[in-house]
Structure 1
Amino acid sequence: MLELYWGLLITGVLFAIVTVIFGDLLSNALDGMLDFLSGEHLHAFQPMVLLSAITVCGGAGILLTRYTSMGTYAVLMMAILVSLVVAVLVYFLYIKPMENSENSLAYSMKELVGKIAEVSVPIPAQGYGEVVVKVGAGNTNHIAASFEHVDIQTGAKVVTVEVVDGTLYVACLDKQV
């Protein structure tokens, strides 16, 4: 059984080293063919959780075999129990908090439909101006045209009606054109 524990420990350590050193290189070289191994759809069975459990099972098995007088099956059961505890801890103390901390600043132009904006450069009836839209925690400027083909002055509150080829078509909210 000691050979099995050493195999598990060495496999886990080698996989960790290869992943850290060559993970991105392999992914880029294989054009993302191995991306399905990331385990994003199997939250509790991500590679980090599984490999940490395998590595700990091997290490615990070696230590329990050498430093206790427990029998073979008792050592195996204790090693599996310890690895399960570590896997649960890794998941809830590392993986889960990291998933919750991921935030994106990106937005789609389609998301701007229905957003309220303020005109920063006047929009002529048959031309383009500029609006400032609050997106997430910041503001962004976009080219805008009048949806109703009327002049819209600076400072007017508008709503985005549609987005066509990166241009926001807006309508006045406060009918003071």
Structure 2
Amino acid sequence: MLELYWGLLITGVLFALVTVVFGDLLSSAIDGMFDWMSGDVLHYLQPMVLFSGLTVLGGSGILLTKYSPLAAAAVLFLSLLAAVLSGTLIFFLYVKPMQNTENSLAFSMQDLVGRIGEVSVPIPAQGCGEVVMQMGGGVTNQIAESFDGNSIEAGARVVTVEVKDGTLFVTRLDEPKL
């Protein structure tokens, strides 16, 4: 049994080293291969959870075999219990919170309707200019036309009224008088 525990421990350590060193390369090489595992039933069987459980199983099996007077069956049971507990903790304390923090920088042009921006290139009465808008943690520059048919100078604050064919139709934002 000690050889099995050593094999599991070494496999887990090697997996950790390979994913740290070659993680991005492997991720793009096997892109989408394990997407079937992300369903409702198997969403907790992430590779990180599985291999950390195997590593704990191997390590605790080695320690309990060498340093405790327990029988092989008791060592196996306690090692499996430690593996399941550590896998559960890793999933709920690390994997799940990290999945919830993932976000994208992508946005739809329709998301810009109602957004306030600033004219960076003057918008003529009949023609195009450019608007800068805050989106998430960055800014985006978009082609814009006047919704009202009035020219809008650079630096003016505008609001997007509608989007057609990738062009924002904006109108000057009336600032409240204080």
- TM interval, short-chain normalised: 0.7 to 0.9
In structure 1, how many angstroms separate the alpha carbons of the residues matched to 2:25 and 2:115?
Answer: 41
SS of aligned partner of 1:163: strand
Q: Which residue does 1:84 correspond to in 2?
A: 84
Classify the secondary structure of the residue corresponding to 1:123: coil
Per the TM alignment, residue 38 of structure 1 is displaced from its structure 2 partner at its CA by: 7.9
Q: Tell whether the 8 Å contact from 1:27 to 1:34 is kept in structure 2 after alignment.
A: no
Cα deviation 1:106-126 (Å, max 9, x = unaligned): 433332122122334432221
Partner of 1:128: 128
Shift of 1:63: 1.5
* C-alpha distance after superposition, 1:20-77 (max 9, x if no partner): 33443344445x2535388597553211111000111011112111211111221111
Label 1:25 to 1:118 Cα distance change in 2 as closer, same or farther (>3 A). closer
Please give the root-mean-square deviation of Cα atoms over the aligned residues, in Å: 3.1
The answer to whether structure 1 residue 144 and structure 2 residue 158 are counterparts is no
Unaligned runs of 5+ in 2: none
1:123/1:145 contact within 8 Å kept = yes
Give 5+ residue unaligned stretches, structure 1: none
CA 1:104–1:80 in 2, change beyond 3 Å: closer, same or farther?
Answer: same
Distance 1:95 1:48, change over 3 A: same
What is the alpha-carbon distance in structure 2 between the residues aligned to residue 137 and residue 20 of structure 1?
A: 28
Sort the Cα spacing of 1:85 and 1:29 in 2 relative to 1 into closer, same or farther, 3 A: closer
The one-letter code of the counterpart of 1:25 is L
Q: Which residue of 2 aligns with 1:15?
A: 15
Q: Percent identity at matched positions?
A: 61
Equivalent pair of 1:134/1:140 in contact (CA under 8 Å): yes
Corresponding pairs, count: 174
The Cα shift of 1:172 comes to 3.8
Establish whether residue 68 from structure 1 lines up as the match of residue 62 from structure 2.
Answer: no
Preserved contact between residue 37 and residue 43 of structure 2 (Cα < 8 Å) = no
Answer yes or no: is 1:36 the counterpart of 2:28. Answer: no
Post-superposition Cα deviations, 1:127-174, rounded to whole Å, max 9, x if no partner, equal 112223222244443321113333334454432133345421213443
AA aligned to 1:129 is G
Output the TM-score relative to the length of structure 1: 0.76
Q: Which residue is equivalent to 2:118?
A: 118
1:26 & 1:101 partners in 2: Cα distance?
22
Deviant stretches of 4+, over 6 Å: none
Q: What corresponds to 1:168 in structure 2?
A: 168
How far apart in 1 are the matches of 2:12 and 2:38? Answer: 17
8 Å CA contact 1:40, 1:46 repeated in 2: no
Tell me which residue corresponds to 2:25: 25
TM-score in terms of structure 2 length: 0.75
